[in-house]
Amino acid sequence: MCGIVAYTGKQSAREVLIDGLKRLEYRGYDSSGIAILNSPPYWVRTVGKVAELEQRVWKDAPSGVVGIAHTRWATHGKPSENNAHPHIDCTGKIFLAHNGIIENHLLLRKQLSASGHTFRSETDTEVLVHLIESLYKGDLEAAVRKALLRVQGTFGLAVLHAAHPGQIIVARRGSPIVLGIGEDESFAASDASALARHTNQVVYLEDNEVARLEPGRFSITTLENRAVSRDATTLEVGPEAMERGSYPHFMLKEIFEQPEAVENALRGRVNHSEGVARLGGLESVQDRLQEARHLIIVSCGTSYYAGLFARYAFETLTDLAVETELASEFRYRKLNLRQNTVVLAISQSGETADTLAALREAKRKGALVLGLVNVVGSTIARETHAGVYSHAGIEVGVASTKSFVTQITILTLMALLMGRTRDISYEEGATILRGLERLPDQIREILKQSDAIRELARKYCNYSHFLYIGRKYQYPIALEGALKLKEIAYIHAEGYAAGEMKHGPIALIDPAFPTLAIVPEDGSYEKITSNIQEIRARDGRIIAVTTSGNTKLGTLVDDVIEVPHNHELLMPILTVVPLQLFAYHCAVLRGCDVDKPRNLAKSVTVE
Ligand code: F6R
């Protein structure tokens, strides 16, 4: 949730670090800070967005060539200058930026305070810098290693010492760190997007590893000081993936990238001649998939709604018993995990702490654990037995859009793959594949309505409450549409299974509580039309998302958004797009910070 960037080389560190922080800001953004080695070292922290720090740095930072910087999303201690990173030791020589949580910080703080260390912040992180100070005997790397052996919890961190100019020590356990190696310069960051502008040669640290960076060089050891040999790999994303281009917001850019994202998600994965999906990442576990009887899907937020969609998709296409569970609740359930149980973790970032904890629990109990992840090389991708990448490309906007659309596209492919080895016919498989391939152009058609949806948003954006309803495949889309409106436009919105409406929420309906009904002409069309009538009878205003050419809704609804026809299982991949646009336009019209909604972070690495 927080971001780290570190640099040692020949360029002015402040430029590299501020640019890196801006690229990481989407991960968390309530305060930030920077330390540059100079004589004396330069150290500044500010509350608010990176722009605040940038102003300070341009005003008074020296042009040193070594430094670390951090953008924070508060967990322990409110956003304040004192709580922002980097933290500093008592001698004023050691600087440390940290992502993750130090679980035994209270005990360590007590011990360090008793031996005379002075704490300046309320954070768990600060114990680390004092612990390193207490163990430092002239070798920074050794002190960091020793300190980390005494720490319980997770960390991705970067440390500087004024007595070791040119050297940066980084380490990781449970919170990513990637090294970037250039000519006579080295970088480290919590996310490769901060490095892509400078180098495409990267090295991913594994858990419990420590790296020493010097200009153009690196060495890696384990916490126990065993040397690790690892070559750099070439980064696949270019720096342009992090640019907004002519779009006013990353979220809009990412909504408009969805046709290509779906094309990428499908590329090489469609086997027309067999009417089946081809997912190379699952080949190694083909036999266990064949024996599977029970599927449990774990995920959070938007990825959880993708999981809810998958429950319907797998139940439609396979004979598996399917459950979808919030990753944060998974550990509280006494699920009967057997040899023939498959657990599927879905995550855009691949770093979500709850999802990671759920998959570790499932592994412990012997289940086959699969991943559907967007970020290549992320922790979830590495810890699952096998999996599939969603290939949505970097998603910077905090609200998930293209990653959701690619997730539900690939979940359909996964269900089809398993269904075709069970009881789905070639013809049924081939029909779904043809439908999938029509999606990119159909999404392009929907995107052409963006201006019309903005006008609709103008009409509705001042309402304080919304109800979103859908049935069957569209129920998860109602939940997702409502989440988008809540998180970026700060409008209270409830997603409901349409059939549940009369069991409570209908009491809320009045002219000031509009409903967004997702009603493509599918198998549940008649039933949801009855629900719309019930709302109408109570003077509720209704926007309907329906299939093109449906004139039957008539005066039953106030406004209509049309989407093209496709197989009913695939309609969610279309109906969600206008809901994303509606939330986006409402947010812009209400003056909200669309790409960085308040209190949220892109990657939620705390439980
Ligand atoms: C909402 C959103 C979040 C994430 C959730 C899980 O737009 O983005 O609800 O879906 O935090 O994140 P991942 O998918 O990275 O595990």
Q: Lowest mean pLDDT: which of 225-234, 446-455, 467-476?
A: 225-234
Q: Which of 249, 251, 303, 383 to mutate to test the pocket of ligand 1 (most atoms within 8 A of CB)?
A: 303
User: 489: part of which helix (H) or strand (E)?
Assistant: helix 475-489
Query: Is there an atom of ligand 1 within 6 Å of 379 CB?
Result: no
d(CA 403, CA 476): 15
Residue 605 pLDDT more than 70?
A: no
Render pLDDT for 56-67 as a digit per residue (tens, 0 to 9): 999 988 889 999
Q: What letter represents residue 239's amino acid?
A: P
CA atoms 344, 350, 355, 361: torsion sign: positive
Q: Is the CB of 301 under 6 A from ligand 1?
A: yes
Q: Is the pLDDT of residue 401 over 80?
A: yes
**In angstroms, what is the C-alpha Rg of the chain?**
25
| CB of 407 shorter than 6 A to ligand 1 | no
Give the Å distance between the CA of 322 and the centre of ligand 1: 21
Do 213 and 160 touch, CB atoms closer than 8 A?
Answer: no
Intra-chain end-to-end CA distance of the chain, in Å:
11
Cα angle 297-602-473, degrees, rounded to a multiple of 5: 40
CA of 401 to the centre of ligand 1 (A): 10
Residue 473: pLDDT band with limits 50, 70, 90: very high
**pLDDT tens-digit readout, 422-452:** 989 999 999 999 999 999 999 999 999 999 9
What pLDDT band is residue 235 in, cutting at 50, 70 and 90?
A: confident
Phi, psi (deg, nearest 5) at residue 217: -140, 155
Going from the Cα of 405 to the center of ligand 1, the distance in angstroms, rounded, reads: 13
Distance CA 23, CA 409 (A): 28
Nearest CA to ligand 1 atom 7: 399
Per-residue confidence at 25, pLDDT binned at 50, 70, 90? confident
Sign of CA dihedral 182, 185, 188, 189: negative
Cβ–ligand 1 contact at 400 (below 6 Å):
yes
What is d(CA 12, CA 319) in angstroms, rounded to the nearest whole number? 60
Four-CA torsion 311, 314, 319, 323, nearest 10 degrees: -20
Ligand 1 centroid – CA 245 distance (Å) = 24
Q: Ligand 1 centre and the CA of 453: distance in Å?
A: 24
Smallest CA separation from ligand 1 atom 3, residue: 301
- CA 398 to ligand 1: nearest atom: 8
**Using CA atoms, how far apart are residues 221 and 215, in angstroms rounded to an integer?**
18
Mutation pick for ligand 1 pocket among 251, 302, 351 (CB with most ligand atoms within 8 Å): 302
Residue owning the nearest CA to atom 5 of ligand 1: 301
Alpha carbon of 299 to ligand 1 centroid (Å)? 8
In a mutational test of the pocket of ligand 1, which residue from 604, 605, 606, 607 has the highest number of ligand atoms less than 8 Å from its CB?
604
Residue nearest to atom 10 of ligand 1 (CA): 302
* Nearest Cα residue to 473 out of 286, 293, 264, 315: 315
Asked whether the predicted pLDDT for residue 75 surpasses 80, the reply is: no
Which atom of ligand 1 lies at the shortest distance from residue 355's CA? 16
Which residue from 1, 250, 251, 300 has its CB within 8 A of the most atoms of ligand 1, so it is best to mutate? 300
Residues involved in catalysis: 2, 602
In the beta sheet, which residues pair with residue 212?
169, 219
Phi, psi at residue 295, to the nearest 5°?
-120, 130
Looking at residue 606, its pLDDT comes to 65
Greater model confidence, 583 or 377:
583
* pLDDT > 90? residue 192: no
pLDDT at residue 28, rounded to an integer: 67
605 CB within 6 A, ligand 1: no
Determine the distance separating the centroid of ligand 1 and the alpha carbon of 314, expressed in angstroms.
Answer: 22
Give the residue from 505, 445, 483, 487 showing the smallest Cα distance to 595. 487
Q: What is the pLDDT of residue 1?
A: 66
Q: Which residues contact 115 (CB under 8 A, 6 or more apart)?
A: 134
pLDDT over 70 percentage in the chain: 98
Q: Whose CA is nearest to atom 11 of ligand 1?
A: 301
Q: What's the chain's length in residues? A: 607
Residue identified by tokens 């990267």 is 202
pLDDT tens per residue across span 84-133: 999 999 999 999 999 988 999 999 999 999 999 999 999 999 999 999 99
Between 80 and 241, residue with greater pLDDT: 80
CB of 349 sitting under 6 A from ligand 1: yes
